[in-house]
Amino acid sequence: MTIQEEIKLWLSGFLAVTGSDGISRGGFEDADKLLEYLTEQGVVIQVKREIGKNPYRDTDFHLSVAFDEGKYSLFNAGYVATEPLIPLESSPGKGTQTQ
């Protein structure tokens, strides 16, 4: 189960209990609407990724140092890996993702 599916399942259970209009019922329809709204607002999921291996480790000392300093400075600056809240292929009416 992807993290997106886990979030949708949790939201549907939460909405089924509380109901957006105070009525208890199945929450998948409301969860879909809420996920679409959050996605349109730019909400993303932060994911953990490992730092890639240094391809210059054994070949070039200066490039190796620059590579290591560059990747750690990105993390220290707050750059993180993210995924969309709703995967693009299941987003209604959405085109391709641009970087």
- Report yes or no on 94 lying in a domain: no
Show the domain range for 81: 3-86
- Report yes or no on 95 lying in a domain: no
- Report yes or no on 93 lying in a domain: no
Q: What is the pLDDT of residue 45?
A: 85
Cα(54)–Cα(62) distance, integer angstroms:
12
Please give the tally of structural domains in the chain: 1
- Report yes or no on 96 lying in a domain: no
SS3 percent helix, strand, coil of the chain, rounded to 5, is 50, 10, 45
- Report yes or no on 68 lying in a domain: yes
- Report yes or no on 82 lying in a domain: yes
Cα(17)–Cα(23) distance, integer angstroms:
8
Phi, psi of 30 (to 5 degrees): -65, -35
Question: For 74-92, how does the pLDDT look when each residue is reduced to its tens digit (9 = 90+)?
Answer: 878 888 888 888 776 654 5
DSSP states of 59-85 as a string?
T-HHHHHHHHHHHHHHHHTT--EEEES
Q: What is the pLDDT of residue 40?
A: 83
Q: What is the pLDDT of residue 99?
A: 39
Residues of the chain with pLDDT under 70: 16-28, 88-99
- Report yes or no on 49 lying in a domain: yes
Q: What is the pLDDT of residue 97?
A: 42
